[in-house]
Amino acid sequence: MKYEKLAKDIIKNVGGKENVNSLTHCITRLRFKLKDESKANTEVLKNMDGVVTVVKSGGQYQVVIGNHVPDVYADVVAIGGFQTSSEEGSTEKLNAFNKFIDIVSGVFQPTLGLLSATGMIKGINALLVAFHILNPKSGTYIILNAIGDCLFYFFPIFLGYTSAKKFKLKEFTGMAIGASLVYPAIASLTAGKPLYTLFSGTIIQSPVYLTFLGIPVILMSYASSVIPIILSTYVGAKIEGFFKKVVPDVVKSFLVPFFTLIVTVPLAFIVIGPVATWLGKILGAATLSIYNLSPAIAGIFLGGFWQVFVIFGLHWGLVPIAINNLAVLKHDPIIALSFGASFAQIGVVLAIMLKTKDKKLKSLGLPAFISGIFGVTEPAIYGISLPRKKPFILSCVGAAVGGGILGAMGTSTYMMGGLGIFGIPGKLGPNGFDMGFYGAIIAPIVSFIVGFILVFFSYKDEESAVKNEEKNESNLVKQEIIVSPLKGEVKPLAVVKDEAFSKGALGKGVAIEPSEGKVVAPVDGVVTTLFPTAHAIGITSKSGAEILIHIGMDTVQLEGKHFTPKVKQGDEIRVGQELLEFDIKAIEKEGYSLITPIIITNSSSYLDIIETDKKNINFEDNLLTVMI
């Protein structure tokens, strides 16, 4: 596992796996729901290598990692044995707002990557037609449009799955409810002449095309809709829970979904869908009315505070409004107002990169800048601008200016597309290159320039950082000595009969054939990992070198026999301190090789790892030299 140590440290410092109720991730964050947040070591996590920061919002404990969060998530899930949902309830009581944010994020998060991808395809297709590169009647356009439209058109099916996971309904039952809502034979009925019309002349005017057991069914277009399926799966979960209690176990596997569907789906068509759709229409009209009072002022406000909303997870409250507006109004002018925020942030980052003398800050700035171009701004916010406060505030000013321009020029989002520059095609509407689209180009540029100029002419390195940089200019290359934890014969890693070690996949180092059954500390540091079987121990030195001592090959199968640890995980250790004992004769009698790899698992963080030239070595002789 690439991030095994980080994953273990995260699990440990969120209170252990027994404190985790559920775990998901988004583009840059691990999103935990903890049973008791007071058990988490927030300050330890914030200062941990590999963690950008920690945010507590919306009932979630969010550990910000960066762009490689999917890999870290995979290791955390594997090590902790987590699932993305849990049957156990959290002991934390959520207020109504936090509960709403929790539901929205849980339902929409899993779809965001695919939503962005399909939106980008649809946006590129729209640009190809606008530039007369593709004919909208061509096969190429039709296939690309199918790829771009598939998720949003069949959104109820996808949300049926994610909503079901959130509300503890069987996932395929949730998908079946969603599929019923967009079933072609029913959806096509709205093209004919209605039997009669209910609520004629109002915002909720509803033609009736068919009845169910004599009850009028108000058909809506549920393609692309979000509220009906979420409410339907919620009701379905309650219905399923009831039938689980009353249906005998021997027939539960088919009778529970049978009764759940036969009750929920008619309810969805007769009651839930129409009411939810009416609510959606009212919500869309209300948000548009607020926007129409003053688009420019709305843009200044939303643009200026968008990054603050993101930090606290409050932007999730606007996501369903945006998707609802797209389904009802065919465009969303609300979230479009935040489009300049990521560009203001990268303008700030670029200014800091050009002004700072801090080489570490420069190295952090480049990947944060690149991520920000594509709309992923958490590394820039948490790693660079927010810790320095003033640059973050100035980025909000740049975003507010861009938001005002977007509002004034009438920019809207016509499809849920990519972030950052990939979001531009999504602003291209049915009128082609109109003022709104030009606003989507002008506003990000202005936001970028404002953020850059404000920071470039005001930023100063902290005095201590400059002094440290100057102090280290003449001594850029340092080294750390790793002494031998064993006594015995030194051998190259290549002779180890385990490719993970012999090919250097786990890091650089050497192997020792021990002549004495004792392991001592090779550095001053901390025992970060002590396997329950005591056959391997991980140590982190004070300067950050991560050392793995793996006693023998396949000795994990001994399940701790013949190993006696003298320390425990988390202990601080000093060079030469005894860490554990092992019985050489007993282990060899069991048929196991005792050749012991000693490797630096974070070798890629160093210039070089120099091995000793000794053939035989004693405890505390110089073994490895780490070039920093």
Whether the CB-CB separation of 58 and 45 falls below 8 Å is answered with no
| Residue type for position 503 | K
Whether the CB-CB separation of 319 and 338 falls below 8 Å is answered with no
Which has the closest alpha carbon to 102: 168, 46, 147, 57? 57
Catalytic annotation present for 150: no
Q: Which of 26, 315, 396, 562 is catalytic?
A: 26
Number of helices and strands in the chain (H, E): 22, 21
Q: Report helix, strand or coil for 512.
A: strand
Whether the CB-CB separation of 299 and 405 falls below 8 Å is answered with yes
What is the DSSP code string of 195-257? SEEESTTSTT-EEEEEEETTEEEE----TT--HHHHHHHHHHHHHHHHHHHHS-GGGHHHHHH
Type and span of the H or E element at 529: strand 525-530
Which has the closest alpha carbon to 313: 81, 31, 13? 31
Whether the CB-CB separation of 152 and 145 falls below 8 Å is answered with no
Q: ∠ CA 40-46-50 to the nearest 5 degrees?
A: 110
As given in the structure block, the two tokens for residue 443 are 């506003």
Q: Measured between alpha carbons, how far is 113 from 69 in angstroms, rounded to an integer?
A: 13
Q: Measured between alpha carbons, how far is 19 from 9 in angstroms, rounded to an integer?
A: 14
Would you call 431 exposed, middle or buried from its count of C-beta atoms within 10 A (0-12, 13-18, 19+)? Answer: exposed
Q: Which of 25, 315, 535, 550 is catalytic?
A: 550
Q: Residue 31 pairs with which residues in a beta bridge?
A: 24, 62
Q: Measured between alpha carbons, how far is 423 from 153 in angstroms, rounded to an integer?
A: 19
| Residue 549 neighbours by CB under 8 Å, 6+ apart | 485, 486, 519, 522, 536, 537, 538, 539, 596, 597, 598
**Active centre residues (catalytic):** 26, 550
